[in-house]
Structure 1
Amino acid sequence: MSTVLGPTRPQDDEVPGTPERRGPRLRGDLVAVALGCALVAASALYGWNRIDAGVPILVGWPPVLAEWMPHFARGGVAAVVVAVLVVTFGPTLAARLRWGALLAVTYLAAAAWTFSLALIDGYQVGIVDRLTTPTEYLVEVDRYPGLVPFLTTFADRIVGMTPDTLVTHSSGHPPLATLVYVWIADLFGVGGEPAGLVTLFVGASASVAVAVTIGALGGLRWGSQSDLRSASEAGRAIARRYIPFGVLFPGAVWVGVSADGLFAAVFAWAVAFFALGAVRRGVGGSLLCLLAGLVFGASLFLSYGLAAAGLLPVAVAVLVRRWWPLAVAAVGVLVVVGLFHLGGFFWFDGYTQVKLRYYQVGEYGLLRPYRYWVWANLAALLLALGPAVVAGLRRTVWWPRRAPVALLALVAAALVAIAVADLSGLSKSEVERIWLPFGTWLVLACALLPVRSARWWLAAQAVLALLVNSLLLTTW
């Protein structure tokens, strides 16, 4: 394993875990942001051109699934208040609060930001009605036949155009995604309100999980034996720089409310448990890795696309230079896979059927042109990430020596997962929500931005989210 890379109290633009103080200039960051804006503009203009030509882009406001509809319900004032508070006090509190208290405040702030953004659409439209459309999981909750018949018939109901065929979202995901909403209805009541609130408040925890992960790993480097206490201190210093950006994540527009926000949080906690277990030895570490494996396994039955995100735990294992944690986690994954198989559903059968459904006559996957979406997807993702992430990613590419190796590894793994999902052709449009499980990890790159300009970048993130949510009526 490894030791600390540098001082735990960085000043100016010094990054914890790096020996150099002089870094990239702001001009390069702004150029990167300008190029990102150009990509979004090009995707919008070309998308409208294709729509005018009769090509089925199948979104209302390319490159995102939304309609141009300026609006701002009174509850949305809370979003402005949360943004101002985080921009003003976030970096200072992140630097000074004790670690446990900071994680609690991070969750409360992220939940407040996500909830208040949803209120821009109004409580009814922004939260209660989001998951009640005819394509959502709640349709299957109303006709849930019981666990055994549900699992044994699930794969057979993915393809087809019969009354018994699963609705779009249930058919496009493994059965656990629908079962989550069955259990929410059992525990908290039926309808869109409990489903929306649970989805939102679980999804808001993703930033805490990312902070825990980089806090455990951020001080590691290749070389000598690890001093875990010092490594943890350096890792937490990196996490403290990330946390305000994790809170004001523009993708929170779609976390509240879409099931993909919940999926992102579940997967993020799997990585966090694995990181905590991987840096420990003994029974405690093994139990955490086993727990991580169980949660990883669960995430595979929430979304087929999360198989690509398996690169993140592999990156963690490479960082700590120990393969035993990965083997223990694999046991947990196999337990979950085995339980579903015994129940009557095999993951690969479902995946095969989903690919058939995706390109079925009349489905959006067949109609949406790959040549447009293979690059317009990236523009949609940028609207969920924000300019600060673009600037941070620029620094990982142009100045990788200034980035802690753990941060680089996690960001690189997420980027590879995005590339795989994009090139597969199974993610054509709507990636502003579909890629939330990957995008949450790219926000780590914001820890590389200079401390002196952090508030400006945070303000830019908040303004983007507020503009998107108040000018466009998003589907989620």
Structure 2
Amino acid sequence: MNLPADPPRGRAAPWLATALPVAAWTALVWVAWARAEPYRATWKLRGAPLAGFFDRHVSPATVVVLAVGLALARYLPGWCRTLGWRRMLVGASLAFVAWGAATALVRGVDHLDRGLSHRHEYPAVVPAVDEIGVGAFVETYTDEEVLRHYPIHVQGHPVGIALAYVGLDRIGLGGSGWAALATVAVGATAVPAVLVAVREVADEDRARRVAPFLALAPATVWAVTSADQVFAAVAAWATALAVLATAEGRAPRDRALLALASGVLWGVGIHLTYGLAPIGLVAAIVVAWRRRWEVLVPIALGALAVVGAFVVAGFWWLDGLEATRIRYDAGIGSIRPRRFFTFLGNPAAFSLALGPAAWVAVARVRDARLWLLAAGGIGAAAAANLSGLSKAEVERIWLPFVPWVLVLAGGLAALGRRESGRSWSWSPGWPPVAGNLLAVQVVLAVVIVSVVNTPW
């Protein structure tokens, strides 16, 4: 049943409904930046509220990248609207990769693998694993005294992600270059996974409207060569399979197999990063809404099978989490105030990754189907924030939450031209509030990479 449209309130009301959320988004980012100013050196966060450091960089490449982004913002909505479904999924994924790579090139070709080439990153643990063997590496991973000698990001994650890059090395794809290519290839699949879930929960038209906002999100600045985008992809497919398992009219055998596959991916996902558990809220909301409680059993069995395999190998997830918490509290976590990052720093960094379009969508979109998914993403981010395990760097760490919040932005493309209060849109065929905000998302991404030298 469709809700009645809001009564006309004149031309000023829709304009204010867009301007006020943008102003609130701007205020949050500015206040977080200003409050962090005296403490950037102490917190080892020179680009606060973002990780990295302020380093203004403008070159001819900046202009070219901005032009490419604006061209994508102009034409991608039309392509997503007219292409066949499968071609649209592939096209949106390619646009995601192309835009992410383009933003990295603002600072040079070497930034394409910057997120995996540092000594603190996951591939750097490969020599240590070669020295002691995979078995001993897994068995001793939860020993805090052993863990402290591994690269920083390995210390902050379960054993699974380190094993993934060790596996790449063992098949002859070692080094940051191959690691970056594999990361991009897997990470890009998050886009079609989310769109598949949107089509199942809402419909295909809504999924096509969501696609450009996923492909051109400011978060792509960190997504292209960050392993956190791999986590996002695994979580997205686990969620999509769970959602598909709840579909009406699906055969019981198919429903069980989809749910089992979802559970296996959840089991893999939580062994890649401790922070992935909250995103299960998205699937949980859909299961509860459709009352398909029977899918929970195969999901649980699939997840437990993976957990059991890791236990047999010598790694227990809760012990690993405790060891990571000890290392975090003894290191950077001890010098960054929880109150600031919970109420200002983390929300500001996450808002930069989402862009102002997400804030406007929260304020203006009343599409209940899209809200089913977005509520899970927002709730997951809130739970992660309250855990205290992330003080800064959430523009990267919370990449698995980003697309589920941004599905709400697709609802902006359904707002009528009269409601938006303006007659011109950057994206032909889209109402101005959607088309112009999509262009703003692109500009924001270029501004971020031009002002902050990010480590990912």
- Quote the offset at 1:316 in angstroms: 1.9
Structure 1 portions without partners, runs of 5+: 7-17, 219-234, 397-401
- Quote the offset at 1:49 in angstroms: 2.9
Structure 2 CA distance for aligned equivalents of residues 467 and 158 of structure 1: 42
Give the match for residue 475 of structure 1. Answer: 455
- Quote the offset at 1:57 in angstroms: 2.4
- Quote the offset at 1:469 in angstroms: 1.1
Residue 42, structure 1, aligned to residue 31, structure 2: yes
Structure 2 portions without partners, runs of 5+: 416-429
Deviates further, 170-179 or 69-78: 69-78
Structure 1 CA distance for aligned equivalents of residues 7 and 221 of structure 2: 35
Alignment of 1:114-129 (within 5 A): 114-124=100-110, 126-129=111-114
Structure 2 CA distance for aligned equivalents of residues 78 and 277 of structure 1: 44
Alignment of 1:257-406 (within 5 A): 257-279=225-247, 280-360=250-330, 363-375=331-343, 376-396=345-365, 402-404=366-368, 406=369
Structure 2 CA distance for aligned equivalents of residues 42 and 273 of structure 1: 40
Question: Deviations for 1:18-50, whole angstroms, at most 9, x for unmatched residues?
Answer: 563769723112101111101100111110033
The aligned amino acid for 1:298 is: V
Give the match for residue 411 of structure 1. Answer: 374
CA RMSD of aligned residues (A): 2.0
Structure 2 CA distance for aligned equivalents of residues 314 and 323 of structure 1: 10
The aligned amino acid for 1:255 is: A
CA contact (8 A) 1:114 1:204 kept: no
Structure 2 CA distance for aligned equivalents of residues 179 and 73 of structure 1: 39
1:83 aligned to which of 45, 64, 69: 69
Residue 133, structure 1, aligned to residue 118, structure 2: yes
- Quote the offset at 1:121 in angstroms: 2.1
- Quote the offset at 1:130 in angstroms: 2.8
The aligned amino acid for 1:87 is: A
Structure 2 CA distance for aligned equivalents of residues 70 and 154 of structure 1: 40
Structure 2 CA distance for aligned equivalents of residues 445 and 201 of structure 1: 25
Give the match for residue 217 of structure 1. Answer: 201
The aligned amino acid for 1:340 is: F
Deviates further, 237-246 or 445-454: 445-454
Residue 111, structure 1, aligned to residue 97, structure 2: yes
Alignment of 1:55-204 (within 5 A): 56-72=42-58, 79-124=65-110, 126-144=111-129, 145-157=132-144, 161=148, 165-187=149-171, 189-204=173-188
CA contact (8 A) 2:350 2:398 kept: yes
After TM superposition, the score normalised by the length of structure 2 is 0.90
Structure 1 CA distance for aligned equivalents of residues 22 and 172 of structure 2: 43
After TM superposition, the score normalised by the length of structure 1 is 0.86
- Quote the offset at 1:80 in angstroms: 3.0
The aligned amino acid for 1:286 is: A
Question: Deviations for 1:316-368, whole angstroms, at most 9, x for unmatched residues?
Answer: 211221111122111110110010011110111101111111111xx101111
Question: Deviations for 1:377-435, whole angstroms, at most 9, x for unmatched residues?
Answer: 10011111101111111225xxxxx313x321221111121111112211100001001
1:28 aligned to which of 10, 17, 30: 17
Give the match for residue 421 of structure 2. Answer: none
Structure 2 CA distance for aligned equivalents of residues 429 and 367 of structure 1: 12
- Quote the offset at 1:467 in angstroms: 0.7
CA contact (8 A) 2:268 2:306 kept: yes
Give the match for residue 390 of structure 2. Answer: 427
- Quote the offset at 1:272 in angstroms: 1.1
Q: 1:149 to 1:75 in 2, by over 3 A?
A: farther
Structure 2 CA distance for aligned equivalents of residues 187 and 122 of structure 1: 29
Residue 439, structure 1, aligned to residue 402, structure 2: yes
The aligned amino acid for 2:431 is: R
Q: 1:373 to 1:471 in 2, by over 3 A?
A: same
Q: 1:72 to 1:266 in 2, by over 3 A?
A: farther
Query: 1:132 aligns to what SS in structure 2?
Result: coil
Q: 1:270 to 1:19 in 2, by over 3 A?
A: farther
Structure 1 CA distance for aligned equivalents of residues 145 and 90 of structure 2: 40
Structure 2 CA distance for aligned equivalents of residues 130 and 367 of structure 1: 24
Deviates further, 183-192 or 72-81: 72-81
The aligned amino acid for 2:313 is: G
Structure 2 CA distance for aligned equivalents of residues 428 and 275 of structure 1: 32
Q: 1:77 to 1:281 in 2, by over 3 A?
A: farther
Structure 1 CA distance for aligned equivalents of residues 108 and 18 of structure 2: 35
